[in-house]
Amino acid sequence: MTKRLTSCFVFFFALSVLYGQNSADPLPRLDGAVKDLAEAITGKIPAGENRKIILGQWSYRDSVPPLGRYWAAQLSEELANMPGRSFTLVSGGTADWTVSGVIIETPDTVRIYTRLLGSGDHAIEASFNSDFEFNEYIAGMLSEGGTSSSSVRRDTYESDTMENPVSVEITGTAGSFLNRTLHNESDEDFFLLTPDRDGVLTAETSGNDIDTFMQLYDAGSRNELAEDDDGGADTNALIRYEVHAGNRYIIKVRSYGGSGTGSYGFRARLTEPVRLDPDEYENDDESGSAKELSIGTPQYHTFTTAADVDWVTFRISRAGPYTILACGADSDELDTYIELYDEDLNSIDYDDDGGDNLDSFLSVRLQAGTYYLKVECFDDEPAQPYTVIVDEDKVK
């Protein structure tokens, strides 16, 4: 009959409070923790009895990551070389005990649980834990594991949730981006924003890896306030929303349609609300009140609100290729939209972000005649005037 280590309770040992990770050389800390674990396991096995032990797996989210494989390999080496050991390590067949475990993650710590199990009835004879600071090296060793389809590393801010968002400083200028990853297709990242004054919040993503989708929530009520897909550069998201001092807001970022993984940047900035005066061409909100635009001569307009629409009309005297551009007068961060119509107001073509960044741009071949152009803004708070120009495309 197999002798039990204990018949009435489980031994539980915390091998350390926390193993810090030296950013330049993290593996010695892992190796030291494994050595402590091997000594603790050896100390729980009765001397003078040659028991057989088999090492199992250390799983993480239903797969075995590089950290689990490294832990098992190092523990096998330490146990095999333990002086005066009263057990034999076997790689298969029957054994008296199995040593295996599970890896658990918290926002700041990764805990590796190791259990000594009776191979017959799987009774837990002893349990140990080892804690490590969660950093980029540990995050990397938790990725690319087992059945996982993503090779993108978990970032050091995981696991953030709606209840536990990452607090982000709101800058007053276009500051640097906070680097994050969406490490699998169901990953969602959460950011907590608390403005210190009233203003217009601009939250945006950057990068080329993922088509990001962004949602803004009131942190207290959890009501959605705004959302965006491609309002930023390329397939990046951008939200502008008027916020109030002291209120707490949460931004959620995920891949569009849950179909992508990769790296992206996030930043948030706060600016004073801009109230633009009507331009000299108002009222031009309908085609019947469109103002004439001369070919090759820019006109300067303003969107007094996000719902403001401007119409211009122009005449082509010589058929050929032409370009049409609507862009922010101060920068390319005004999200303009243009639609071109013929004399009978039949739509010919349209564009949103065909120019630099958020500028709208068309390159079309036009016949002689009269045309209309409608210009709109997709920003919640238009913050600058814009320029519209129709010109001959002399390159073509």
Q: pLDDT (tens digit, 9 = 90+) per residue, 13-30?
A: 445 445 554 444 567 888
Residue reference for tokens 């005297």 = 317
Q: Which of 46-50, 66-70, 321-325 has the highest mean pLDDT?
A: 321-325
Within 13 Å, how many C-alpha atoms sit on residue 327's CB side?
17
Q: What is the pLDDT of residues 76-101, one digit of tens each?
A: 889 988 888 888 887 766 788 889 99
**In CATH, what class is 287-392?**
mainly beta
Q: What is the pLDDT of residues 365-384, one digit of tens each?
A: 999 999 999 999 987 778 79
- Please give the single-letter amino acid code of residue 81: N
Higher pLDDT, 389 or 208: 389
Output the pTM of the full model.
0.48
Edge-to-edge strand ranges of the sheet holding 369-377: 291-292, 310-316, 369-377, 336-341, 347-351
Strands 299-301 and 386-392, by their bridges, are: antiparallel
How much is the pLDDT for 212?
94
Mean pLDDT of the chain: 84
Domain ranges of the chain: 11-142, 166-271, 287-392
Q: How far apart, in Å, are the Cα atoms of 132 and each of 107, 123, 144, 276? A: 11, 27, 19, 54
In this prediction, residues 217-245 reach a mean pLDDT of 90
Per-residue pLDDT tens digits for 284-311: 999 999 999 999 999 999 998 878 899 9
Same fold, 166-271 and 287-392: yes
CA angle 249, 255, 258 (to 5 degrees): 120
| 76 SS3 class | helix
Query: Residue 52 pLDDT > 80, yes or no?
Result: yes
Token pair belonging to 290:
């469109």
Q: 11-142 sits in which CATH class?
A: alpha beta
| φ and ψ of 19, to 5 deg | -90, 110
Instruction: Kindly tell me if the per-residue pLDDT of 145 is higher than 70.
Output: no
In the predicted structure, residue 58 carries a pLDDT above the cut 50? yes
Spatial distance between the Cα atoms of 362 and 373, rounded to a whole number of angstroms: 11
More confident position, 382 or 385: 385
CATH annotation of 166-271: 2.60.120.380
> Using N-to-C axis directions, what is the helix angle for 66-80 and 27-43, rounded to 10°?
50
169 Cβ partners below 8 Å, 6+ apart?
A: none
